[in-house]
Chain A
Amino acid sequence: SQELEQSPQSLIVQEGKNLTINCTSSKTLYGLYWYKQKYGEGLIFLMMLQKGGEEKSHEKITAKLDEKKQQSSLHITASQPSHAGIYLCGADPEVGGGADGLTFGKGTHLIIQP
Chain B
Amino acid sequence: NAGVTQTPKFRILKIGQSMTLQCTQDMNHNYMYWYRQDPGMGLKLIYYSVGAGITDKGEVPNGYNVSRSTTEDFPLRLELAAPSQTSVYFCASRRDGYTFGSGTRLTVV
**Interface 9-residue window, one of B12-20, B77-85, B92-100:** B92-100
Q: For A106, what are the chain B residues with a Cβ–Cβ distance below 8 Å?
A: 40-42
Q: For B94, what are the chain A residues with a Cβ–Cβ distance below 8 Å?
A: 97, 101
- Whether B108 is near chain A, meaning CB under 8 Å from some CB there, is no
Q: For B43, what are the chain A residues with a Cβ–Cβ distance below 8 Å?
A: 88, 90, 102, 104
Find residues 88-108 in chain A having any chain B CB closer than 8 Å to their own CB: 88, 90, 97, 99-107
Contact B42 A104 (CB under 8 A): yes
CA gap between A83 and B97 in the complex, in Å: 23
Contact of A88 among B42, B48, B58, B101 (CB under 8 A): B42
Considering only CB atoms and an 8 Å cut-off, how many residues of chain A contact the other chain?
A: 22
In the complex, residue of chain B having the shortest beta-carbon distance to the beta carbon of A42:
B102
Q: For A41, what are the chain B residues with a Cβ–Cβ distance below 8 Å?
A: 102-103
Contact A33 B50 (CB under 8 A): no
CA gap between A99 and B31 in the complex, in Å: 7
CA gap between A41 and B25 in the complex, in Å: 19
CA gap between A88 and B90 in the complex, in Å: 14
Q: For A102, what are the chain B residues with a Cβ–Cβ distance below 8 Å?
A: 43, 98
Closest Cβ of chain B to A7, distance in Å, is 13
Q: For A101, what are the chain B residues with a Cβ–Cβ distance below 8 Å?
A: 31, 33, 35, 45, 48, 58, 92, 94, 98
Q: What are 14 residue pairs bridging A and B, where the CB atoms are less than 8 Å apart in the complex? A: A9-B40, A40-B105, A41-B103, A42-B101, A45-B98, A45-B100, A88-B42, A97-B31, A101-B31, A101-B45, A101-B98, A102-B98, A104-B44, A105-B42
